[in-house]
Amino acid sequence: MPAPLDEFPVHQAPLPIARVAPSDRNFYDRYYFNAHDRTGEVFVVTGYGVYPNLGVKDAFVTVGRGSRQTTVRFSDAFEPESDDRLNPSVGAYRIEVAKPLDELRVVCDALPHGITMDLTWRGSFPALDEDPHVLRRDGRVVLDAQRFAQLGTWEGTLQVEGRDYPVTPDTWLGSRDRSWGIRPSGDPEPGGRAAAERDPDGGMWWMYVPLRFDDFAIIVIVQEQPDGTRTLNQATRVWSAASGRRPEQLGWPEFAVEYVSGTRTPKRATIRMKDLAGTPVVVDVEALGGVVLNCGPGSGLDPTWTHGQWRGRDWSEGTVVDTAADETAAARARFSVVDHVARAVCDGREGWGLFEHGCLGRHDPSGFRDFAAVAP
């Protein structure tokens, strides 16, 4: 039967809105947000996703304070014909789109699990389409995703384990993205040949740095193979809508990352780019407090929960992980992408945003020979 959205001219395939064009089990459609003050002492990472071909919808909120990560997560059945996609919600979590591409409200009322929040997002700059991200393995598409990203401010209330954090737009900033397409989701598939013939020298180097300055935003997204070959490369400066200026390409970014000795945890990085006139654009980024994405938020190799996994109807759970004191979590964190609060400087201007980085396995440009290698 048709869904309410079928009344509008929004179709992208000869199918009702309830059905997505790819039959791939890993099709997903997701929101991601982060929120932080300018100290790095508290960092909120949250998201909501639907997995139409798995019949699942879920959401999570993780709040990092130092090495302590408090998480609440929700999951339920997703019914393509009846779920109201204009009002995304699961359990005690919901997203209200007040003004598309400009203002959204994210609410989580999970006091029994230690988190309540009511936060309103307002975009400071126009949303930017990122380049399509496509990866193949043994002939199969394992990632085919489209995203847009945006920098903005937050306002509202946040309570974590009994402590209140006033959220005001003069201090609280963040970035968000919307992504959809194909990526590994739900319960793991059989490993097959890929697992049996896994390259022991394999690896991935990932850098995602959306930053907000007073006059502009800069969004950098890069992924490299073990030898440094880039499979994704984008660097763009976004100006305010009032300026009338188009987004500006910043070419091929070059990175100098300083890691904490004995780890692959980044302390800071310098990103060197050029504008269309050939003028250097240099950004120095400092990593402050962060959230390990496979210790609660469900990304990467999180053995406790992953996005799209079936946990039954009306399921919710709260967890607390100390990524320093918990030896199991600390070991897992070594093989995770980590979201850091970023303080940045560009041409004397101070900015803030996200410093998301993962360096797993071999990466020749960084001098890491294998999975065990760390910074000197």
**What are the distances in angstroms from CA 295 to CA 41, 337, 353?**
18, 10, 21
Question: Which domains are seen in the chain, by residue range?
Answer: 26-186+200-366 (2.40.370.10)
pLDDT at 196: 80
pLDDT at 91: 98
123 DSSP β-pair partners: 152
Percent of the chain with pLDDT over 90: 84
Contact 322, 67 (CB under 8 A): yes
Distance CA 7, CA 2 (A): 9
Distance CA 20, CA 126 (A): 27
Model confidence at 136, pLDDT cuts 50, 70, 90, reads confident
**253, exposed or middle or buried, with CB in 10 Å at 0-12, 13-18, 19+?**
buried
Q: What's the whole-number mean pLDDT along residues 258-271?
A: 96
Kindly report the average pLDDT of the chain as a whole number.
Answer: 94
* Whole-structure pTM value: 0.95
Q: What's the whole-number mean pLDDT along residues 247-271?
A: 97
Q: Which residues make Cβ contacts (< 8 Å) with residue 220, sequence separation at least 6?
A: 207, 208, 209, 210, 234, 235, 236, 250, 253, 271, 273
Residue 194 has pLDDT above 80, yes or no: no
3-state helix, strand, coil in the chain (%, to 5): 5, 55, 40
Q: Which residues make Cβ contacts (< 8 Å) with residue 325, sequence separation at least 6?
A: 67
Contact 95, 29 (CB under 8 A): no
pLDDT at 190: 83
At 361, the amino acid letter reads G
Q: For the chain, count helices (H), then strands (E).
A: 2, 23
pLDDT at 1: 72
Residue 4 has pLDDT above 90, yes or no: no
First to last CA, the chain: 61
Residue 353 has pLDDT above 90, yes or no: yes
pLDDT at 202: 79
Q: What's the whole-number mean pLDDT along residues 193-222?
A: 89
pLDDT at 258: 97
Contact 186, 308 (CB under 8 A): yes
Concatenating the DSSP letter of every residue in 77-131 gives E--TTTS-TTS-EETTEEEEEEETTTEEEEEEEEGGGTEEEEEEEEESS--EEPP
Q: What's the whole-number mean pLDDT along residues 196-214?
A: 88
pLDDT at 69: 97
38-68 per-position pLDDT tens digit: 999 999 999 999 999 999 999 999 999 999 9
pLDDT at 157: 98
Helix or strand (DSSP H, E) at 181: strand 173-182
The 3-state DSSP class for residue 1 equals coil
Distance CA 159, CA 165 (A): 6
Distance CA 191, CA 200 (A): 15
The 3-state DSSP class for residue 73 equals strand
300-351 per-position pLDDT tens digit: 778 899 999 999 999 999 999 999 999 998 888 888 999 999 999 999 999 9
Q: What's the whole-number mean pLDDT along residues 183-193?
A: 87
**What are the distances in angstroms from CA 375 to CA 201, 256, 310, 342?**
17, 13, 38, 21
Model confidence at 192, pLDDT cuts 50, 70, 90, reads confident
Residue 17 has pLDDT above 80, yes or no: yes
Q: What's the whole-number mean pLDDT along residues 227-253?
A: 96
Model confidence at 283, pLDDT cuts 50, 70, 90, reads very high
Distance CA 10, CA 16 (A): 10
pLDDT at 300: 77
Would you mind telling me the total number of residues written for the chain in this entry?
376
**What are the distances in angstroms from CA 251 to CA 1, 141, 168, 285?**
47, 27, 35, 18
Q: What is the DSSP letter of 373?
A: -
Residue 18 has pLDDT above 80, yes or no: yes
pLDDT at 120: 98
Distance CA 217, CA 239 (A): 7
Contact 49, 133 (CB under 8 A): no
Percent of the chain with pLDDT over 70: 99
Model confidence at 277, pLDDT cuts 50, 70, 90, reads very high
Nearest CA among 357, 351, 295, 283 for reference residue 321? 295
